[in-house]
Chain A
Amino acid sequence: EAAVTQSPRNKVTVTGGNVTLSCRQTNSHNYMYWYRQDTGHGLRLIHYSYGAGNLQIGDVPDGYKATRTTQEDFFLLLELASPSQTSLYFCASSDAGTGGHYEQYFGPGTRLTVL
Chain B
Amino acid sequence: GDSVTQTEGLVTVTEGLPVKLNCTYQTTYLTIAFFWYVQYLNEAPQVLLRSSTDNKRTEHQGFHATLHKSSSSFHLQKSSAQLSDSALYYCALSGNTRKLIFGLGTTLQVQP
Contacts and interface: CB of A to CB of B under 8 A. Distances in A.
Nearest to A109: B44
B45 A43 contact: yes
Contacts, number: 52
A33 B103 CA distance: 17
A87 B82 CA distance: 30
Given A43-B45, A48-B98, A107-B44, A101 B103 contact: no
Interface in A79-115: 90, 94, 97-109
B46 A106 contact: yes
Interface string A31-66: 101000000111101001010000000100000000
Interface size range on A against B: 20 to 34
Given A41-B104, A45-B99, A48-B98, A103 B35 contact: yes
Contacts of B83: none
A104 B100 contact: yes
Contact of A90 (B44, B50, B96, B103): B44
Interface of A: 4, 31, 33, 40-43, 45, 48, 50, 58, 90, 94, 97-109
Given A42-B103, A101-B33, 4 more contacts: A41-B104, A100-B31, A102-B100, A105-B46
